[in-house]
Amino acid sequence: MELNQVTLPVHNMDECVRFYLTLGFTQIVDTPHYARFSCPDGNSTFSLSLSTDAVVNNSVIYFEHEQLDELYEDLCHKGIEFEQAPTEQSYLWKEAIIKDPSGNKIKLYWAGENRLNPPWKVEKRL
């Protein structure tokens, strides 16, 4: 099984589309109520769905990038505001935090080998 996509609720489609294009994603679907993007690396996609209700999303979306510090600097120069600069975490990931214009929390991170094989990885269970 492979994850196809995650859909985020947004209250202003145009503003959020511009935000994700600035982050470097490629838009593959464009309608007034729905937008879909492909990630720069791999086969992952995600989408935005226009919501007329107040947007409340407690999920955190993670996008991995090996050159996180360089990405951070580039995005800062493009006007993206960060809640947290790239910071080493106790769980061996380096993370930066931003929110999209609708308040969806995004973590840009790099974990290297620790992404799938942390020192505390559990053995396969039946």
- Which amino acid belongs to residue 123? E
In a domain, 126, yes or no: no
| pLDDT of the residue at 126 | 72
90 CB-near residues (< 8 Å, 6+ apart): none
Q: Average pLDDT per run of 10 along the chain, which is 126 residues long?
A: 89 97 97 96 93 87 96 98 98 97 96 94 83
**CA gap 100, 35 in Å, rounded:** 14
Domain for residue 93, yes or no? Answer: yes
The enclosing domain of 46 has a CATH number of 3.10.180.10
The total number of structural domains in the chain stands at: 1
Identify the burial level of 39 via C-beta atoms within 10 angstroms of its C-beta, where 0-12 means exposed, 13-18 middle and 19 or more buried.
middle
The answer to whether position 121 is within a domain reads no
- 123 in a structural domain: no
pTM for the model stands at 0.91
Query: Which residue range(s) make up the domain with 74?
Result: 5-50+58-115
